[in-house]
Amino acid sequence: MNAEKPELKKLFALSSEGRKYSFTLPLKNVIRIGKRDYNIELREDEKYGIHVLWKNRRYPVEIVRTKQNRYEILFNDISHIFTVETPFAMQRKKVLGSGKGRSERLVVKAPMPGKIIDVLVRENSQVLRGEALVILEAMKMQNEIQSIVNGTISRIGVKPGQNVMKDDILAEITVK
Amino acid sequence: MKKIKRILIANRGEIAIRIMRTAKTMGIKCVAVRTAVEPNAMYLSMADIIHDEDEDASEIPVFLDVEKLISIALETKCDAVHPGYGFLAENAYFADRCQVNGIIFIGPSHDAIYKMGNKTVARQIALRHKVPMAMGSPGSIADEEEALVHATRIGYPVIIKAASGGGGRGMRIVRHASEMEKMFTLASREAEKAFNDPSVFIEKYIENPKHIEFQILGDQHGNIIHLGERECSIQRKHQKLLEEAPSPALDTELRQKMGETAVEIARAVSYYSAGTVEFLLDSDKNFYFMEMNTRIQVEHPVTEMITGIDLIEQQILIAMGEKLKIRQEDVRLSGWAIECRINAEDVQAGFAPSPGRIEKISFPDEPGIRVDTGVRAGSSIVASYDSMIAKLIVTGKDRHEAIVNTKKALDKVWIKGTKTTLPFFRMLMRNHLFQEGTFTTAFIEKNLEKYYSHGEYEEMIAAWLATKLFVEENLEDKKTNISFDQGKEITPWLLRKRLTQF
Amino acid sequence: MDINGKYFKSYLEREDAFKKQYNADRIKKQHAKGKLTAHERIALLFDSGTFEEIDAYVTPSDQGVEFGKIEMSYGDGVVTGHGMIDGRLVFAYAQDFTIMGGSLGIVHARKIAKIQEMALKMGAPIIGINDSGGARIQEGIASLNGYGIIFNNIIQSSGIIPQISVIMGPAAGGAVYGPALTDWVFMTSHTSYMFVTGPNVVREVLNEDISSEDLGGAETHARKSGVANMIYDDEENTIIALRKFLSYLPSNNLENPPVAAYDNSTPDVNEKLRDIVPDDPNKAYDVRDIISLIVDRNSFFETSELFAPNIVTGFGRLEGKTIGIVANQPKVLAGVLDIDSSTKGARFIRFCDVFNIPILTLEDVPGFLPGKDQEHSGIIRHGAKLLFAYSEATVPRITIILRKAYGGAYIVMNSRSMGGDFNFAWPSAEIAVMGPDGAVAILYRRELADAKDPVAMKKELVKRYREKVANPFIADEKGYIDEVIDPAMTRRKVLSAFTALSNKSVKVPSRKHGNMPL
């Protein structure tokens, strides 16, 4: 059995707002706009740090967080979040997504008794996995209670200053 | 007249540097205070003498500690104190304590600070001088019954404000009589919590006004002039983000009228030093006195840029007892100036503070651009103080040119290490309402869907970067990068240990 | 030999039949579930063209044929073989769900066992990709026997070669113990499940309705049970991560971990480290921000990230050399030690120890989590595992006390007295029997009760306690820690300390094995 790696011809970058950009492999240092290719260069030096040169201008770049295939790119002071997907992963998403209309609710509970110091999100606001929802002070420490899913806050159960018991409902998130 | 030889700077950051810069040119020595929170701050490098303050993190910051500041001033033989803005700048007690200890407080009299600091007192003074004001209660109101009576008289909507307030806290808008009871209680409770004083008063609520303020200069001999206005309507939750001078909403006639009123208010409290009279301007160009700030303002540079007057220098001269050399008719407003407050805030997260260490920072160094900053590469924006990184002040011969120049200048600002408000200003400069100049204080809340915008292809470039990283990290052959052979090299010493372990 | 001759004819015929077996329909079926086929997974895992399949043409045992339902096929539902990953020899097997649901018959089991034994002989890592309906019912006890052989092999190889399981489909019943016995379990979200008894049985016995995903999906095992160490959104990402993960591990327990080329891109002195721990001892921060500045740029690979996140474990590199990192996470539950974090930490430390990976501990721990829940569930027994694991480890061990180091938790987290080789502290460290508030409240209970202004008195006492007892300089002067260091210098210090320890050799008393509290 010969196990040549299947050739990957394309990659997709999906923005957190659902926009899709496709790039042909091997990845070239150009951005195609209309029918023209514009050279793009990623550089790093002492004076400017990491930056991109594009169309004769220098733009600051920061890679804030990368996890799996998820990348947060700070480009020109604005952050963009992408997942980079292979064609098969895109197909898989379709297959799994069509299985059930996933709109579950997730209840975030207090992991321990304590006092709510701050509520960092509002109802109907979008949250990403890992984003802090509330700050709970317990054991003399301020703990960030984070969302474990991407979704929308459907309900907030606490107010700053409130004391909570273990398992009290802090927030409800409608999972995206 | 008393000559000032040495000033204690009772402040930090860019304003400390701003004050020291002028003091230097006047041949005055400056003492700065080093705090544990930012022991390597940039302002310290400008000082002639540094006082080390080893405060505990749990104690109140030294810049808020009246007695400590007085003792530092005495110890370091300062004959004057400049409070800057914020902290104790508008604290009548501090001004008084300075005077008692024979130290010149570079600012107005403590009496003026007190009178303008208490909103109901200020209202009464303004009323006595027939200054146009939003209709309201003559003083504090006792309960919601009284509030209802006043509200019916002046007509809804009304706003309940804290008598000792400022900065938006303790404010509640009431649109119907039915909401009064609830709102009154809320406002009063909030006022007590924030200012230790539950008293509130009531005013006609002006819908969507512009925020216009006049710069005042007065000496200790009764001469008071104004230096024109500043437009400060671009604000979010009562925090100003961008200021300009002059205002696109004023013509010469209105400017003269408002300026005279501002001077009159200042005169009513025998004001001296630099000060600011704030007005609301409604869509019919009626103006209403709001309050007076008895300090140098963050946004003072825009006035300096169009008048050519160094406000800090004036403050110091006035504090020494000198007579104002500038007469009202000498004041000429020429050109246009815009100030962008570049803060360490995450515009995408609703302007949440984004503290961190500034890794790289540079600004365009060109004529017509002024940058007031208190940070350099390596500085930290700490959570204990405000989030300001720099004020970018750009001028032009008119408003249009100032906007065009600001747009260009913003693209040349380079800050790495924290998120900043730069994307907000880049968006603002391209916004039509802003360009027209017809915006009001409700602009950010009402007219903007997003606080930022990016160039047409920026997201695509970011997508390319993400893809590039993915390719580099995951798809490129790393065979050469990892050496398994090196991992096999073990000294005999170690090998024996490993073998004899079983 | 003539390629058109008769020997070759049967050879080619067989190859043809083999190819037919893996026809497009079969592949499509698997793809329709969002899953890759066994061969595709193998191809992704190994360096291009290096995988050699063994026993590809074996046929199922006759045992079940009489009962029927045996599909005559080549390979018996599992692909086994060896190849190169980043140029290093690795053995692997991948169950093939498209053939009899990947069910485990005796031939299938023997194929796996053969590969396991070879991996052990060669001292090479082994990876098992699981996607199987379970025991092949038709084969009866032979199938069960097969599981037994596989489990036994895993246990015999444990601690000699790294063994990694990847779950990319169902793994139910007894089959789950195979992965559970290996060192690491990777799972792919939404398309893999592990449970001893499935949702149907749960419904029958307990009358409880629960989905496969909630009962034993990747998320559940990563977050709640801790069975899954790493989970990923899809199979390609799972395999990419697995390849990366392997690059930290040595091939066997006699070798040193591999060394990555180091490009000098990480500053040895980094002032950013001074800014991360907040001045306010009650404020949280993310300890991973510190880790990422100490290790080589982008080299931190977090393990068991979602399980017991109040302790952070993972691998990183120092000038290319692998180290294991154990760090309290102040951001979650204040970084407190509880049952889950103790077992997570202990298992990680034991893995590092057995595979010669030095351990760096970053300590900021307020203590053990109090409460009935914890005590009744045996925090004493489980906390002891962490102690045991640290003390037993003979690899180089360095601790840096970042902030809080109180009481029993201080002792546990690789203190000097527990055999830590170097203990450093940041100036922000607070080392004491308990936190200032608690200590003052106990020692000055009476005085505080009588005080006119107890709040002010307490504040003063807390301040004095911090000055006189709970500070790192006292520990330094008394020799309990080796040095108080400038946070900015941490990487440099750690580098030179590990260099000094690189030939560490300690005499371990001869014994069958210690008796770790389990």
**Domains: count for chain C:** 3
CA B130, distance to chain mean position in Å, is 30
Residue among B108, B481, B77, B484 nearest B293 (CA): B108
Q: Among partner residues C86, C257, C271, which is closest to B478 by beta-carbon distance?
A: C86
**pLDDT for position C14:** 85
CB contacts of B466 in chain A (<8 Å) are 13, 71, 73, 80, 82, 84
Residue C237 in domain? yes
Chains touching chain C at 3 or more Cβ pairs under 8 angstroms?
A, B
Write out the two tokens for A82.
């992408």
The answer to whether B490 faces chain C, any CB pair under 8 Å, is yes
* CA distances to B194, B351, C10 from B167, in Å: 11, 16, 90
* Per-residue tokens: C363: 């300590």
Parallel, antiparallel or unpaired: strands B6-9 and B80-82:
parallel
The angle at the Cα of A156, spanning B346 to B238, to the nearest 5 degrees, equals 40
Q: Is residue C5 part of a domain?
A: no
Decide which of B360 and A105 is more confident.
Answer: B360
pLDDT at C499: 96
**DSSP 8-class letter at A112:** S
Please say if C419 is a catalytic residue. Answer: no
Non-local (6+) Cβ contacts of B436 within 8 A are none
Residues of A in contact with B461 (CB under 8 A): 31, 40, 52, 54, 59, 75
Which tokens hold the place of B429? 């400069």
Tell whether C51 and C171 lie within a shared domain. yes
Across the interface, do B488 and C503 touch by the CB < 8 Å criterion?
no
| Chain B contact for C255 (CB, 8 A cutoff) | yes
C261:B488 CB<8 A: no
Same domain for C341 and C307: yes
Average pLDDT over residues B315-322: 97
3-class secondary-structure state, position B192: helix
What does the pLDDT look like over B345-355, one tens digit per residue?
A: 989 887 888 88
Give phi and psi for A142, each to the nearest 5. -90, 120
Tell me, yes or no, if B483 comes closer than 8 A to chain C by beta carbon.
yes
Label residue B402 exposed, middle or buried (CB < 10 Å: 0-12, 13-18, 19+): buried
Please, which pLDDT band fits residue B318 given cuts at 50, 70 and 90? Answer: very high
Can you tell me whether residue C475 is helix, strand or coil? helix
Q: How many CB atoms sit inside 10 A of residue A88's CB?
A: 19
Whose tokens are 């570049």? That residue is: B342
Chains in contact with chain B (at least 3 beta-carbon pairs closer than 8 A): A, C
Structure tokens at B14: 């860019």
Domain at C485, CATH number: 3.90.226.10
β-strand pairing of C230-232 with B414-416: unpaired
Tell whether C462 and C424 lie within a shared domain: no
Are C464 and C475 in the same domain?
Answer: no
Instruction: List the pLDDT tens digit at each of the 518 positions of chain C.
Output: 677 777 788 888 888 888 888 888 888 999 999 999 999 999 999 998 999 999 999 988 876 666 666 777 899 999 999 999 999 999 999 999 999 999 999 999 999 999 999 999 999 999 999 999 999 988 889 999 999 999 999 999 999 999 999 999 999 888 999 999 999 999 999 999 999 999 999 999 998 889 999 999 999 999 999 999 999 999 999 999 999 999 999 999 999 999 999 989 899 999 889 989 987 788 889 999 999 999 998 899 999 999 999 999 999 999 999 999 999 999 888 899 999 999 999 999 999 999 999 999 999 999 999 889 999 999 999 999 999 999 999 999 999 999 999 988 899 999 999 999 999 999 999 998 888 888 998 999 998 888 888 888 888 898 889 888 888 998 888 888 999 999 999 999 999 999 999 999 888 888 888 999 98
- Beta carbons within 10 angstroms of residue B146's beta carbon: 14
Q: Pull the structure tokens for residue C188.
A: 């792919």
Flag if B486 and C258 touch (Cβ within 8 Å).
yes
Which comes out higher in pLDDT, residue B406 or B137? B406
C219 and C355 housed in the same domain: no
Q: In order of start, what are the domains of chain B with their CATH numbers?
A: 6-106 (3.40.50.20), 135-204 (3.30.1490.20), 210-447 (3.30.470.20)
Mutating which of C251, C254, C263, C300 best tests the B interface, going by the most B Cβ atoms within 10 A? C254
Residues of B annotated as catalytic (active site), given as ranges:
295
CB C462 within 8 A of CB C440: yes
Mean pLDDT on B166-175: 76
Of the listed ranges B53-62, B248-257, C105-114, C358-367, the least confidently predicted one is: B53-62
List CB contacts (< 8 A) between A13 and chain B. Answer: 463-464, 466-467
Task: Using the structure block, give the residue that is written with the tokens 């890759």.
Answer: C36
Of C38, C409, C432, C497, the active-site residue reads C409
**Token digits of residue A20:** 């899709």
Of the candidates C168, C76, C64, the one whose C-alpha atom is nearest the C-alpha of residue C113 is: C76
Residue A41, pLDDT > 60, answer yes
In a domain, C254, yes or no: no
Average pLDDT of chain B is: 91
| Cα C132 from chain centre | 23
CB–CB of C51 and A92 under 8 A? Answer: no
- Residue A92 CA to residue B190 CA, distance in Å, equals 53
Q: Residue C341 carries which side chain, given as an amino acid letter?
A: S
Identify the CA nearest to C229 among candidates C191, C194, C188, C185: C185
At residue A3, does pLDDT exceed 80? Answer: no
Rounded alpha-carbon distances, angstroms, from residue C279 to B379, B401, C367, C457: 16, 46, 20, 22
- Of the listed C173, C320, C407, C419, which one is catalytic? C173
Instruction: Quote the CA–CA distance of C270 and C142 in Å, as a whole number.
Output: 61
Task: Map residue B285 onto helix, strand or coil.
Answer: coil
In chain A, where are the structural domains located? 10-99, 105-175
Mean pLDDT score, B293-298 = 96
pLDDT at B457 over 70: yes
Give pLDDT, residue C154.
Answer: 98
A84 vs B347, B420, B467: nearest CB:
B467
Token code pair at residue B221: 């001999």
- Of B254, B315, B263, B332, the residue nearest B292 (C-alpha): B263
**Do C389 and C459 reside in the same domain of the chain?**
no
| Residue C40 shares a structural domain with residue C142 | yes
Q: Which two tokens stand for residue B419?
A: 């998120």
Q: ipTM of this model?
A: 0.82
pLDDT: which is higher, C377 or A144? C377
Classify domain A105-175 by CATH architecture: Beta Barrel (2.40)
Q: Which residues of C touch B501 (CB under 8 A)?
A: 394, 508
CA–centroid distance for A84 within its chain: 11
- Residue B383 has what pLDDT? 76
The closest CB to that of C39, out of A1, A112, A143, belongs to A1
Please confirm, yes or no, whether C409 is among the known catalytic residues: yes
Residues C374 and C426 in one domain: yes
- Please report where in the chains the tokens 């065009």 appear, as a residue: B404
Query: Which residue of chain B is at minimal alpha-carbon distance from A45?
Result: B360
pLDDT value for B74: 96
Return the beta strands (E) in B430-486 as ranges. Answer: 482-483
What pLDDT sits at residue C504? 92
Residue B450's pLDDT band (cuts 50, 70, 90): confident
Summarize the confidence of residues B31-54 as an average pLDDT: 91
Radius of gyration of chain C (CA): 27
Last residue of a domain, one of C196, C227, C246: C246
Peptide bond just before A26 cis, omega within 30 deg: yes
SS (H, E, C) B209-233: CEEEEEEEEECCCCCEEEEEEEEEE
- Record the tokens describing residue C155, joined without a space: 């246990």
pTM of the model: 0.84
Q: Report phi then psi at B223, rounded to 5.
A: -90, 125
Q: State whether C485 and C445 are in the same domain.
A: no
Tokens of B369: 């651009």
> How many contacts (CB atoms, under 8 Å) link A and C?
94
Q: Measure Cα distances from C499 to B481, B499, C356, C479, C502 in Å.
A: 21, 22, 14, 22, 5
pLDDT band at A101 (very low <50, low <70, confident <90, very high): very low
Cis geometry, peptide bond prior to residue C427 (ω within 30 degrees of 0): no
Give the per-residue pLDDT at B477: 63
With CB atoms and an 8 Å threshold, state whether C275 touches B57.
no
* Percentage of the residues of chain B whose pLDDT score is greater than 70: 96
Determine the structural domain holding residue C447 and report its residue range.
Answer: 436-469
Kindly report the backbone phi and psi dihedral angles of residue B269, in degrees, each rounded to the nearest multiple of 5, phi listed first.
-110, 20
